[in-house]
Amino acid sequence: MRPNKFWLGLAMATSIALVTTIASAQEKKDEEKKDAAKKIEAADVPAKVMDPVKARFPTAEFTNIEKEVEKGDTVYDFEMKMDGKKYEADVKDDGTIMEIEKQVEEKDLPDAVSKAVKAQGANAKVKEIMEVNKVTGKEEKPFQYEIVLDDGGKEKEIKLALDGSAVKEEGEAEQAKDKEKGEAKDEKKEEEKK
């Protein structure tokens, strides 16, 4: 019996598609590993990155430094202590400080944020509050708070905007936008039917 050319061709096409899919998945895993944060020593940070950090935090003691790729840009994530408080800074490889987080006290929170924290649970205790600031030039502007709560031994982190509303994670925000676009298209189709 001669094999049917159609079935032989289909089997070959399926095999090629399978190999391509596996190779693509492996490339994605390799890319994710490459983009993963890598802990580095202060001595390994380029001067053009370290100099602006030292200028902004002259007496800081570095507790952790990581190098990672975010949206195609190399970013250095500094964690440090200065004057008894915790600070974090995200710095591009060209020396641009993008974001600064500062440890703050609960009494320093805006009223709306304080109320939202209390709404998370009467028994929850605040472990840590970081004020997250976007940096433009030398100007820092707070845009959210990251708050770690301890609720009976269970830790959870919440992110709140200055008005006390919950901050969506980047992926959640994109999904919400996509959902809104889809709903708007559905409404438009319904109107067109009428």
Single-letter code of the amino acid located at 25: A
The model's pLDDT over 42-79, given as tens digits with 9 standing for 90+, comes to 999 999 999 999 999 999 999 999 999 988 999 999 99
Q: Do residues 95 and 88 lie in contact, with contact meaning Cβ atoms separated by under 8 Å?
A: no
Query: Can you give the residue range of the structural domain that contains 81?
Result: 35-102
Residue 85 lies in a domain: yes
Banded pLDDT at 36 (limits 50, 70, 90) = confident
Residue 179 lies in a domain: no
- Report the CATH number that the domain containing residue 83 is assigned in CATH: 3.10.450.360
Q: Do residues 68 and 91 lie in contact, with contact meaning Cβ atoms separated by under 8 Å?
A: no
Question: Does the reported pTM lie above 0.75?
Answer: no
Rounded CA-CA distance 104/23 in Å is: 47
- Tokens linked to 25: 């998945």
Residue 87 lies in a domain: yes
Q: In total, how many domains does the chain have?
A: 1
Q: Is the pLDDT of residue 164 over 70?
A: yes
Residue 74 lies in a domain: yes
Query: Residue 67: which residues within 8 A CB-CB, separation 6 or more?
Result: 37, 38, 40, 45, 74, 75, 76, 77
The model's pLDDT over 123-158, given as tens digits with 9 standing for 90+, comes to 789 999 999 999 998 899 999 999 999 988 889 999
Q: Is 75 helix (H, G, I), strand (E, B) or coil?
A: strand
Q: Is the pLDDT of residue 90 over 60?
A: yes
Residue 125 lies in a domain: no
State the pLDDT at residue 157. Answer: 93
